[in-house]
A and B are shown apart, each in its own frame.
Chain A
Amino acid sequence: MDQRELALSAFVATASGDRQARLSGLEKLAGGAIQENWSAQLTLHGAHRPVVIRTDAPSGVAASRTRAEEFHLLKAAHGAGVAVPEPLWLCTDPSVIGKAFFVMARVAGTAAGHQVVKDPAWGGDRTTLAERLGAELARIHAVVPPRPDLDFLGPPPAHAALDRVATYRDWLDAVGRPHAALEWGLRWLERLAPDPAAPVLTHRDYRTGNVMLDQTGITGVLDWEFAAWGDPMEDLGWFCARCWRFGVDGLEAGGLGARADFYGGYASVAGRPVDDAAVRYWEVMAHVRWAVIALQQGERVLGGGETNLEAALTATLVPQLELEILRMTKES
């Protein structure tokens, strides 16, 4: 057992109250520019359980949420009955492994977007899956302010849609080059912003690619680092937006299922029907948001001389996002 495993085991023994508890078989998982994930085996009260240890990546890229905040978000979601990897223990003491980390259950399956849309073996029956995806989202939205455990989220925006428009305009201005199609989309979003909804916990990256699936259904909703108080329809729009269907455009619920089934699953938990017009509004917002983020990715390559082909190619998605925005905002 190496130093790190000894330190982690000592932490888990204290945190769990089981003096025999230990973490072993640490293995670094692929991916993650901002976070670093390690798989490990937890031995607790004599039983074994696969877990993930999540911590910051050494690159120190400014993340939107700290690991501690992410842990509290997972706790809140888990408490609301959302399918998430069960959060176990948080350690903010840097003396254990040199940085904050938390331990969560390891869920089985895959999240990879291109893979799950192509292979129907993932996620089980697609009607049931689309309903489940809607239902999980409605459970997230059942978390509402005030929540002292989530006070790091700050006060809810007075008008989520207009708040987003202002933010994306700022981001666009920071990029510096004129993008008429995105201005067009932002002006449309500003003019036609729906009345503000009562704020709920929104995931803000709920889409195919961030939901772990196994052969029978959903095993865990991942990537909580963008979560914020907001308009619930923003999450439905992000999920249904064409740019997140991974090429399977006919299945409007994330390339995985029918929009009607997704709405139906959401309504069954939320207790009210989904306002389709509101979702379509937020789909335009989704394309604008993704386009501005893609531009920022391109800037990393142009500005800093960083050789990151993936970021450079992400920026080449902007024209198709713009095309979609212009088509969706055709009036009369």
Chain B
Amino acid sequence: MRHAPTGADLLDVARRQMLDVLVPALPAEHRYAALMVANAMAIAGREMRNGAAGQEEELWALSALYGEVPEAEPGDPQAMAQALEAIHRQVCADIRAGRMDPHRPEHDALRATLEELAQDRVAETNPRYLSGT
């Protein structure tokens, strides 16, 4: 087994070192690039901490729209990813074909589900965006 510090911990410490020590020492023209690196590390760290838990929830939430229960085993990441992609393709095709328009009973639930999923992703990519709204 791996022992602490975990990969996510290391990313955090490395990022702090970068921002506190390296960025102030850099010439102005390289600071923007260094801040981008720090931002990329922060996003990667948040994704690592969340792990695959979000994927499972996503699959269940989208399957529920079709009144289905997913068959993919949570322990099998590859099957999980495939099932997730398949249901996303289904949702996309249904939206484009007008099968999720307002007259359909799934319309409101789909929008609400997609909003929740987007919110979960923003919590990883840019949590500050959520506090601003």
Contacts and interface: CB of A to CB of B under 8 A. Distances in A.
Given A187-B98, A309-B40, A319-B118, A330 B111 contact: yes
Given A319-B118, A326-B118, A184 B125 contact: no
Given A180-B114, A309-B37, A331-B102, A320 B122 contact: yes
Contacts of B126: 316-317, 319-320
Interface in A285-332: 309-310, 312-313, 316-317, 319-320, 322-323, 326-327, 329-332
Contacts of A177: 85
Contacts of A329: 111
A178 B88 CA distance: 6
Contacts of A222: none
Contacts of A247: 132
A332 B114 contact: no
B91 A180 contact: yes
A272 interface: no
A187 B114 CA distance: 14
Interface in B103-129: 108, 110-111, 114-115, 117-119, 121-122, 124-126, 129
Contacts of B33: 309
Contact of A326 (B100, B115, B129): B115
A187 B101 contact: yes
Interface of A: 169, 177-181, 183-184, 186-187, 191, 247, 249, 309-310, 312-313, 316-317, 319-320, 322-323, 326-327, 329-332
Interface in B78-103: 85, 88-89, 91-92, 95-96, 98, 100-102
A323 B133 CA distance: 11
A310 B92 contact: no
B6 interface: no
A169 B36 CA distance: 30
A320 B111 contact: no
A322 B115 CA distance: 8
B114 A320 contact: no
